[in-house]
Amino acid sequence: MEKIFKVYRDINVGKKLKDARKTKGYTQEQVGELVELSNKQITDLENNKTNGSIKTIINLCNLYEISMDDLYSSYLSESKNNNIHIKGYCDLKQEQKELIDQIIDFMLNK
């Protein structure tokens, strides 16, 4: 669950939800009533303090007329790029992998 929450924070789902709410002209109170959440729950979602249930996210996407792809698009794009990099790394010769490993170690220890 922590990994999912980290993804949620990293891609700033809360800001996207807040932006979508404001674009639609809703207050947090109005949204809370429409999707049966407290004002605090809406605030926590928008401030990335909680990730909400799948049902909650779906209800908010429906209310704001946005897709879950839009909400999570930067994560999906990043995941695709990471997979390409991992595959590329696996295809390298051993000496090339060792060089990459040394560079990464150097950067992480800086």
pTM for the model stands at: 0.61
CB neighbour list of residue 10: distance below 8 Å, 6 or more residues apart: 75
Structure tokens at 35: 């999707």
Greatest extent of the chain over all pairs of C-alpha atoms, in Å? 60
CATH number at residue 56: 1.10.260.40
Q: Give the structural domain span for 88.
A: 2-108
Per-residue pLDDT reduced to its tens digit, 52-96: 888 998 899 999 998 887 777 654 455 555 656 666 767 778 888
Domain count, the chain: 1
The confidence score (pLDDT) of residue 23 equals 95
Burial (CB < 10 A; 0-12, 13-18, 19+), residue 17, is: buried
